[in-house]
Amino acid sequence: MIARIIRRRLKRKMNKKLLTALLIPLMIMPMMSFAYAHWSDTVTKKYKLRPGTVEIHIIEWHIDKTTSYDINCNGRIIGDELQIIPVYDEDKEVIDLWIKADPIFPCWELEFKMLVHVKGRLAVRFEKPTIVIAGPYETDPCFEAIKPTDPGYESYNWTGQKFDAKPWFTYKCQMFAHTAQVPPCTAKPCYDKSHYTTTAAPTEFRYKPCESILIWQYLHLKQEVLPDWPEDRLQKMLSCHWLRIDFEIEATNEVGPEWGSVGEEYNTTWVPYEDP
């Protein structure tokens, strides 16, 4: 009986120790939560970015000289023997000009200008034009892209004003940038071709949005090139055939360090807080 009572007392003492061991962590947990609780606030800076675009288009063109003549005696040459077909993009802007001359003949000439405008919101630099020549074709090649497998295919990167693309065919090209005027010209774009007098080599200048470049081209079919291309050989090769010439100029984005959409004030000056 005594032993039983002792065991019961020992059991009760053990229960109190166990209870104490369980209660201590429960009491500590609220204290830990209080220690890590705090108030907070934040400031944020949010960005909304929209990339600009590189876009150029042809805003005007003009035939300065041609030796094409009125073969069907209908009183007109432009739009008949010499056709200029504009190609539009989805914004109704001219991005290509297709020129068809039929017929051409020994000593035929064409002098042509076009004004190319920087339409996009990014400054550009014009690369060296690519000139691809092919032919003669036996059938009308239309205006499909010239392929390396086409007869007489040759491709050039234009590096100067003049080169003989073929021994019997001369092609000239020149680009002109807008020249500063007195008083300053404020027209954007400027359509006055007399303002474009600064000779511009490819990649030489940077053109900002709303600026333009004037491109002059000259084509000449020679009558003969002795000794390799006498007149009778040229006539046999070219008569009733077609020639193709593609001129492509590419504009690439380039923003210089001297200007941008952010003024120097915000590059060098801290902007103080102002009570709204």
Q: Average pLDDT of the chain?
A: 83
Q: What is the pTM of this model?
A: 0.76
* 127 contacts: CB under 8 Å, gap ≥ 6: 202, 203, 249, 250, 251, 252
Answer yes or no: is pLDDT of 258 > 70: no
* 123 contacts: CB under 8 Å, gap ≥ 6: 206, 207, 208, 209, 253, 254, 255, 256
DSSP code, position 204: S
pLDDT score at 204: 83
- Rounded CA-CA distance 118/58 in Å is 9
- Give DSSP secondary structure letters for 40-96: ----------------EEEEEEEEEEE----TT-SS--BTTTEEEEEEE-TTS-EEE
- In one-letter notation, the amino acid at residue 213 is I
Share above pLDDT 70 across residues of the chain, in percent, rounded to a whole number: 77
Q: What is the pLDDT of residues 95-119, one digit of tens each?
A: 999 999 999 999 999 999 999 999 9
Answer yes or no: is pLDDT of 209 > 50: yes
* Alpha-carbon separation of residue 225 from 124, 165, 168, 229, 230 (angstroms): 40, 13, 6, 5, 6
Is residue 196 within 8 A of residue 114, CB to CB? The reply is no
* 109 contacts: CB under 8 Å, gap ≥ 6: 65, 66, 67, 218, 219, 220, 221
99 CB-contact burial (10 Å; exposed 0-12 / middle 13-18 / buried 19+): middle
- Rounded CA-CA distance 135/87 in Å is 23
175: alpha, beta or left? (left if phi > 0; alpha if psi -120 to 50): beta
- Rounded CA-CA distance 134/116 in Å is 25
pLDDT score at 36: 59
Answer yes or no: is pLDDT of 26 > 70: no
Give the chain's length.
276
Cis peptide bond N-terminal to 167, omega within 30: no
Cis peptide bond N-terminal to 184, omega within 30: no
Is residue 210 within 8 A of residue 189, CB to CB? The reply is yes
Q: Would you state the structure tokens that stand for residue 160, as one six-digit string?
A: 């100067």
Q: Would you state the structure tokens that stand for residue 30, as one six-digit string?
A: 């609220």
Average pLDDT, integer, range 68-76? 94
